[in-house]
C-alpha cells in the first residue's frame, strides 16, 4: 500500500464514518471530494457530510442518461440539505462524434462500444472532477460484489494520484437501510423496485432473486467483471 494511504488507514482506524470524514477534511482541506450517484450508500454519506457541515465538496456525474427517479432524488437532496451538489457533464465534442457515427445505443453492440460510452459520459468527467484533489470519498461497500471484496476501505488510486476512502465499506445493506430510515434520508425509489445498483437508464435493470448485486448493470454482457472504469483500476491492480 502507498505510504500516504497506509498513514490514512492508521489515522482512521477505530473512527466512526463521521469522525473519519471530519479527520480527512482537516488533513486534506480544500482538496477532498465525494462522488455521489444518489444510491443508498451515497445518500447516507451525503447526509453525514451535510448535516455535520463537513467541508467536503459533493459532486455527481450527469451522464445525460439518468433515470427520472434519480433526478428527483437529486433535486430533493439539494432542497432538504440546502447544499450544492456539483454536476460534471460529458464534453460535447466526443459525445457528439460518438452519437453521429454510431447512434444513441451503440453500447449494446459490443463491450468496446459500451466502454467508449462510459469513458465519454463518466470517466472523462470524473477525471475533471478529481483533478487537483488529494482525497476521494466513495460509497463503495465490500459486499456489493465479489470484485470489491478484494478492496480495502483506504486505497491509493494510482490513476488519479490520490487517496481513496470508503467510510461505510464494512456496512451491510441492512445497516444502510436502517440508517436511511432512522434519519429520514431521501433515497431513490428504484431501490424498492429491485434496483440495488442504479446507473444510466439504458444500462440498468432490476435484478432477479438470487442474482449478484451488480447483475442489473450491463446485463447483456457475458463477463465476470462489469465495472464502468470509475473503480476498475483499483480492483484490477489488487
Sheet containing strand 154-157, strands side by side: 86-88, 57-61, 32-35, 135-137, 162-165, 154-157
How many Å apart are CA 145 and CA 225, to the nearest integer? 9
Rounded CA-CA distance 41/203 in Å is 20
Question: CA–CA separation, 77 vs 85, rounded Å?
Answer: 9
Q: Residue 13: which residues within 8 A CB-CB, separation 6 or more? A: none
**Catalytic residue check, 117:** no
Of residues 14, 227, 27, 3, the one with CA closest to residue 133:
27
Q: Which residue has the cell 467510510?
A: 167
Active-site residue (options: 117, 200, 203, 228): 228
Of 75, 51, 79, 43, give the one whose Cα is nearest residue 181: 43
**CB distance 111 to 119 below 8 Å:** no
**Hey, which residues are catalytic here?**
228
Amino acid at each position: 500500500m502507498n505510504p500516504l494511504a497506509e498513514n490514512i488507514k492508521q489515522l482512521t482506524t477505530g473512527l466512526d464514518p463521521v469522525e473519519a470524514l471530519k479527520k480527512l477534511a482537516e488533513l486534506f482541506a480544500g482538496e477532498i471530494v465525494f462522488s455521489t450517484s444518489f444510491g443508498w450508500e451515497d445518500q447516507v454519506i451525503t447526509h453525514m457530510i451535510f448535516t455535520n457541515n463537513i467541508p467536503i465538496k459533493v459532486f455527481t456525474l450527469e451522464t445525460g442518461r439518468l433515470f427520472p427517479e434519480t433526478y428527483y432524488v437529486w433535486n430533493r437532496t439539494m432542497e432538504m440539505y440546502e447544499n450544492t451538489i456539483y454536476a460534471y457533464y460529458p464534453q460535447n465534442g466526443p459525445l457528439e462524434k460518438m452519437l453521429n457515427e454510431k447512434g444513441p445505443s451503440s453500447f449494446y453492440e459490443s463491450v468496446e462500444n459500451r466502454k467508449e460510452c462510459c469513458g465519454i459520459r463518466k470517466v472523462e468527467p470524473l477525471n475533471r472532477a478529481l483533478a487537483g484533489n488529494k482525497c476521494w470519498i466513495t460509497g463503495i461497500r465490500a459486499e456489493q460484489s465479489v470484485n470489491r471484496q478484494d478492496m480495502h476501505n483506504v486505497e491509493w488510486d494510482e490513476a488519479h494520484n490520490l487517496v481513496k476512502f470508503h467510510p461505510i465499506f464494512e456496512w451491510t445493506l441492512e445497516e444502510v437501510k436502517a440508517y436511511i430510515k432512522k434519519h429520514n434520508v431521501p433515497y431513490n425509489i428504484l431501490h424498492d423496485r429491485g434496483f440495488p445498483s442504479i446507473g444510466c437508464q439504458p444500462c440498468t435493470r432490476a435484478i432477479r432473486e438470487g442474482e449478484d448485486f451488480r447483475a442489473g448493470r450491463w446485463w447483456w454482457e457475458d463477463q465476470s467483471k462489469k465495472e464502468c472504469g470509475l473503480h476498475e483500476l483499483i480492483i484490477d491492480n489488487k
